[in-house]
Amino acid sequence: MTAPVRFWPLAAGRIITSPFGPRSGGMHTGVDFGWPGGSAGQPVYAIQAGTVIFAGAAQGYGGPDPAGWLVIDSTDAEGGGCLEYGHIIREVALGARVVAGQRIGRINPDSGTNGGVAPHLHVSDMPYAYNPSAKQDVMPRLAGAREPGQPPPKETPVPVLPAFDYGITKVMHGFNPSTCAKCTGNSSGPRAQTLYIGLHTQQSRSTAVNLASFCNNSRISQPTNPVSYNLAVDDKDTIEIVPVIEAPWSAGEANGIALHICFAGSFSEWTAGKWLEIYASDGLNEDAMLTRGARAAAAACKQFGIPAVYAGDGGRTGWPILPKGIVGHRDFGRRGGGHTDPGDGFPMTEFLRRVNNFLNPPTPGGAVPAPTNDQKLDYVYGQLQPYPQLAGKPAALDDLRRKIAAGVDLTLVDAFAAHIHGLFAPKGGA
């Protein structure tokens, strides 16, 4: 497998005249490239290989043909996605196959085609196929791009990395022009050390994909407080937002010493029972999400030599009490932002059990270790938490007694709770 070759769309010396993002009058869904002193007639080059699926005159880009635009669709091997080049005069035909770095047109000198704005190249990036509603910033795609005219590098195999199975289903790296050359998105670059695995809740109903998109756009939506995690997990996906070796922007002083995992759509107020819920009536199988998080944590334990133990104390001291291990965001205290997640209800004992199961899976045909009594009690307690009457909470039992005394029809849960706690008065004999 080889990495796709990519080139800048204009020659060295180009400038960005308008970036992707909000601007006066609305959202700019592309990046405008130009040339100091004027861009009219400047050659335009294909960012990556692909097939021309639209060409010529187009609304917003002018005409008549050959003036207008080009849209080039790429296979996964060519780099994936669909790129739109606007305000140009095309030099390749509809249906043509182009190679990365090939000259495909020139910037249209007629500023009347774009509302009187000086001539420039507009590039829009659609991640999967032609879909104007899905446009994203093209700059992450151009990371590491070559200059037009340079010969393509010799194809070399992508090195095979050690098998650390995080369960990653999608990679959604962002881009932040304010960070260093070694930084990916909202990142401070490679960590000097990795001592902990930090667990976070999102505090909003969402999915891992949407959380990743929010993080990647947070440099625009909340420029004074952009945020990121290494991984976002839900019941279906594990998304890499920032490479696992880099320091994301998750927990203040703890960014550079921990790999950070966020459970998408989760809340620190959840009970243990909610975390272990297997029904997806709310759109999320929380138990499956917990397992995905455990799988990722196990891979990090292997990669960075972290023991699968809880290294915190519920946030009481404001910093982990062990030199290495797994902690919640709250265990970093004020130095980590002063947060309280993942909360008192997070089933840390059960989470660690699952991490250890990934680290030490049973041998084929071997017996699966029986859960300990403590693990059984943790599970039962967790399952009872959403129903305080089943868990025997005094206030809930008092309320149940009042219902019984008033002759109210009981729900199945109430009736079962009344039975197991002996609230029904015994019937007298005849």
pLDDT digits (tens, 9 = 90+) for 279-303: 888 889 999 999 999 999 999 999 9
For residue 196, what pLDDT is reported?
98
Task: Evaluate if residue 313 carries a pLDDT over 90.
Answer: yes
Q: Confidence band (pLDDT; 50, 70, 90) for 143?
A: confident
Instruction: Name the pLDDT band for 120 (thresholds 50, 70, 90).
Output: very high
For residue 247, pLDDT beyond 80: yes
* Cα 244–chain centre separation: 12
Assessment of whether the complete model's pTM goes beyond 0.85? no
The pLDDT value recorded for residue 11 is 93
What architecture (CATH level 2) is domain 170-359?
3-Layer(aba) Sandwich (3.40)
| Beta carbons within 8 Å of 93's beta carbon, 6+ residues apart | 52, 55
Q: What angle separates helix 286-304 from helix 348-359, to the nearest 10 degrees?
A: 60
The CATH number assigned to the domain with range 15-142 reads 2.70.70.10
Mean pLDDT of 33-60: 93
Residue 381 in this model has a pLDDT that exceeds 60: no
Query: Quick check: 313 and 332 in contact, CB under 8 A?
Result: no
- Give yes or no for residue 159 having a pLDDT over 60: no
pLDDT > 70: percent of the chain: 90
User: Which has more confidence, 150 or 396?
Assistant: 396
Q: What b/e sequence results for 76-111 when a residue is b if at least 16 CB atoms lie within 10 Å of its CB, and e otherwise?
A: eebbbbbbbbbbbbbebeeebebebbeebbbbbbee
Mean pLDDT across 216-220: 88
Per the CB < 8 A criterion, the answer to whether 29 and 135 are in contact is: yes
- For tokens 């902990």, the residue is 196
Give the pLDDT band (50/70/90) at residue 425. Answer: low
Say yes or no to pLDDT of 161 above 50.
no
156 — pLDDT class (breaks 50, 70, 90): very low
pLDDT exceeds cutoff 70 at 391: yes
| Domain layout of the chain by residue ranges | 15-142, 170-359, 387-429
Give the model's pLDDT for residue 33: 96
Residues comprising the chain, all counted: 430
Task: Report the DSSP pairing between strands 26-28 and 21-23.
Answer: antiparallel
For residue 200, the model assigns a pLDDT of 98
Alpha carbon separation from 222 to 189, 214, 227, 302, 401 (Å, rounded): 21, 10, 9, 35, 51
Please answer whether residues 261 and 197 qualify as being in contact, where contact means their C-beta atoms are separated by less than 8 angstroms: yes
Give the pLDDT confidence score for residue 174 in this predicted structure. Answer: 83
Backbone φ and ψ for 204, nearest 5 degrees, come out as -165, 145
Per-residue model confidence as pLDDT tens digits over 34-44: 999 899 999 99
Average confidence (pLDDT) over 91-107: 94
Distance, C-alpha 355 to centroid of its chain: 21
CA distance 404 to 426: 13
pLDDT-derived band of residue 430, with 50, 70 and 90 as boundaries?
Answer: very low
Least confident of 136-145, 193-202, 406-415: 406-415
pLDDT higher than threshold 80 for residue 162: no
Distances from the Cα of 389 to the Cαs of 242, 270, 314, in angstroms? 43, 17, 27
pLDDT by residue (tens digit) across 359-375? 988 766 655 566 666 66
Quick one: average pLDDT of 270-282?
89
pLDDT, averaged across the chain: 88
What is the pLDDT at residue 180?
84
Whether the per-residue pLDDT at 269 is higher than 50: the answer is yes
Per-residue pLDDT, 188: 94
Mean pLDDT along residues 353-360: 94
- What is the model's pLDDT at position 210? 93
Identify the band that residue 377 occupies on the pLDDT scale cut at 50, 70 and 90: low
